[in-house]
Amino acid sequence: MSTSADVLIIGAGLAGLCCAKRLTEAGITFQIVEASDGIGGRVRTDEVDGFLLDRGFQVLLTAYPEARKILDYSRLDLKSFSPGALSWFAGRMNPIVDPWRMPGMWREALRSDFGTLGDKLRMARLRSRLKHSSIEDIFKRPERSTKDTLKSEGFNQEMIHRFFRPFLGGILLDGELKTTSRMFEFVFKMLSEGSTSVPARGMGAIPAQIAEKLSNDSICLNSRVESLHENEITLAGGESMRGRAIVVAADGPSAAHLVGEAEPASRSVSCFYYAAEEPPVPRPMLTLNGDGAGPVNNFAVMSQVAPSYAPRGNQLISVSVLGTQELTEAQLSGFVIAQMKNWFGVVARSWRLLKSYKIPHAQPQQYPGALEPAERSVRVRPGIYVCGDHRDNASIQGAMRSGHRAAEAVIKDFAR
Ligand SMILES: Cc1cc2nc3c(=O)[nH]c(=O)nc-3n(C[C@H](O)[C@H](O)[C@H](O)COP(=O)(O)OP(=O)(O)OC[C@H]3O[C@@H](n4cnc5c(N)ncnc54)[C@H](O)[C@@H]3O)c2cc1C
């Protein structure tokens, strides 16, 4: 494979695509080399029997500053979750409504016996504190675990166990709440200041929109890079390519292998998709396992949020199971359905498994210390740059921002 591009970008995930977009604007030529058969990396959507299946439950927090800059939200036709959540415990679904986001729900919020009035006020105080903090400030604060921060904010054990553990577990993929408080505060700020959404055509519409601005022949799929040496990369088939600069925009473990760094630890998750005739919950809300029993951490009826996720007359249910599972798909799905039968009755037995995804590296693990500094250098050695969510924070925002930073570093170094 020959190329006359200035820059070789390894990986067509959000980081690689955002890097490419910025280089295009600066008039610098590039070639993206991607191992898989499509763009988007961890943000892809498959179509199965007319259902849209994101590769793992994930959402766009519309307040992400980088996403706001790069994406045209109106063309993504975003569909949003209702604020708040439902939590299963004590043998029933307990709503936790967010009256600040749903002003018509104040009465229900005050009447709800889930979370004391004190918890609601603490939530408001936390929201207000974070509203008045910049993202930069949040990522510079002294840090500790998310759980310790929640305790110091005064939340009681029940609120932490029944709400924050599964809620943040579903977002940070960390049911133990050991993730750095900086990440928790950043995510909480983003949740408070925008919507929790998915594009009508699935999360894969996000990378697709960024790639629209790149020329077709600038992305080479099904091409795994085996190694890199100075300004040369070698593909799995033995071919090599040279560029003035190389940007490694691979996921953390792959990037570490390519540039010879220690492999970062990962958070894992499995996601099961089921077709159902009726939605088992009344609102498009995230539903949480508040009693902690059983494999399911969180659950959402995606077709309630975005009807286009399922063919007419059908519902699409997404179920997340945290961690690495040794069981087969059939065994784990059996346990999932048994738990859902406990929650929703025998109707759960009629749900049809469409597909499941086991994702060993879903996000980099970000315990205290991992975001110190929050934006780690994208320059590895002369001519070699690295970007990806492992260089910033584990999110769509972090991946996009790191890609932009890598491009800026290349532009600056080329101008010298
Ligand atoms: C299940 C799940 C849920 C998530 N939930 C959320 C959420 O709700 N909100 C949020 O903001 N974020 C969420 N995230 C995180 C977010 O998706 C990622 O942080 C982001 O997509 C990472 O983008 P990236 O470009 O850094 O890496 P990736 O998307 O991993 O892209 C790297 C690319 O490099 C390619 N590659 C790797 N090695 C090579 C090689 N040797 N040669 C060529 N190509 C290679 C890969 O195939 C891949 O396409 C979630 C992630 C997962 C998996």
Q: Which residues contact 384 (CB under 8 A, 6 or more apart)?
A: 228, 245, 246, 248, 259
Q: Classify residue 281: in a domain, yes or no.
A: yes
Atom of ligand 1 nearest to the CA of 357: 1
The reply to whether 241 and 360 lie within a common domain is no
Q: Which pLDDT score, from 0 to 100, does residue 352 have?
A: 98
Cβ of 251 below 6 Å from ligand 1: yes
Atom of ligand 1 nearest to the CA of 251: 30
49: alpha, beta or left? (left if phi > 0; alpha if psi -120 to 50): left
The reply to whether 256 and 377 lie within a common domain is yes
The reply to whether 309 and 328 lie within a common domain is yes
Q: Determine which residue's CA is closest to atom 29 belonging to ligand 1.
A: 41
Strand order in the sheet with 379-381: 219-220, 30-33, 7-10, 245-248, 384-386, 379-381
CATH number for 23: 3.50.50.60
Q: Do residues 146 and 181 make contact, with C-beta atoms less than 8 angstroms apart? A: yes
The reply to whether 212 and 70 lie within a common domain is no
Domain boundary among 364, 389, 404: 364
The reply to whether 283 and 358 lie within a common domain is yes
Average pLDDT by consecutive 10-residue portion of the chain (416 residues)?
Answer: 85 98 97 98 98 98 98 98 93 82 64 76 92 96 96 94 95 96 97 97 98 93 96 95 97 97 94 97 95 96 98 98 92 97 96 97 96 95 97 97 98 96
> What sign has the CA pseudo-torsion 291, 292, 293, 294?
positive
Q: Which pLDDT score, from 0 to 100, does residue 230 have?
A: 87
The Å distance, Cα 309 to ligand 1 centre, comes to: 21
Atom of ligand 1 nearest to the CA of 64: 11
Q: Which domain holds residue 317?
A: 48-80+266-364
Q: Which pLDDT score, from 0 to 100, does residue 118 have?
A: 85
> Which of 39, 184, 363 to probe ligand 1 with, by most ligand atoms within 8 A of CB?
363
The reply to whether 213 and 351 lie within a common domain is no
The Å distance, Cα 40 to ligand 1 centre, comes to: 7
Question: Which of 337, 352, 354 shows the shortest CA–CA distance to 299?
Answer: 337
Q: Determine which residue's CA is closest to atom 1 belonging to ligand 1.
A: 56
The reply to whether 54 and 75 lie within a common domain is yes
* Cross-strand bridge partners of residue 356: 272
Q: Determine which residue's CA is closest to atom 37 belonging to ligand 1.
A: 250
How many other C-beta atoms are found inside a 10 Å radius of the C-beta of residue 246?
28
Instruction: Please state, in angstroms and as integers, the Cα–Cα distance from residue 26 to each residue in 50, 246, 381, 400, 405, following that order.
Output: 40, 16, 22, 17, 13
Q: Which pLDDT score, from 0 to 100, does residue 252 have?
A: 97
Q: Do residues 404 and 266 make contact, with C-beta atoms less than 8 angstroms apart? A: no
Q: Classify residue 198: in a domain, yes or no.
A: no
Judge if the upstream peptide bond of residue 373 is cis by omega within 30 degrees of 0.
yes
Judged on CB neighbours under 10 Å (0-12, 13-18, 19+), 134 is exposed
CATH number for 322: 3.90.660.20
Q: Do residues 35 and 224 make contact, with C-beta atoms less than 8 angstroms apart? A: yes
Q: Do residues 241 and 256 make contact, with C-beta atoms less than 8 angstroms apart? A: no
Q: Classify residue 27: in a domain, yes or no.
A: yes
* Number of domains into which the chain is organized: 2
The reply to whether 376 and 246 lie within a common domain is yes
> For 89-94, which contacts have Cβ atoms below 8 Å and span 24 or more sequence positions?
89/162, 89/290, 89/291, 90/291, 93/281, 93/287, 93/343, 94/162, 94/290
Please state whether the predicted TM-score (pTM) of the whole model is above 0.85: yes
Q: Which pLDDT score, from 0 to 100, does residue 171 have?
A: 94
Which H or E run contains 94?
A: strand 92-96
Distance in angstroms (rounded) separating the CA atoms of residues 401 and 389: 9
Q: Classify residue 36: in a domain, yes or no.
A: yes
Q: Which pLDDT score, from 0 to 100, does residue 117 have?
A: 80
Residue 174 corresponds to which tokens in the numbers above? 């960390």
User: Which SS3 state, helix, strand or coil, does residue 201 take?
Assistant: coil
CB-based burial, 72-81: b 16+ in 10 Å, e otherwise:
ebeebebbbb
Q: Classify residue 190: in a domain, yes or no.
A: no
Question: Which of 376, 350, 154, 339 shows the shortest CA–CA distance to 261?
Answer: 376
> 78-80 and 196-199 as β-strands: parallel, antiparallel, unpaired?
antiparallel
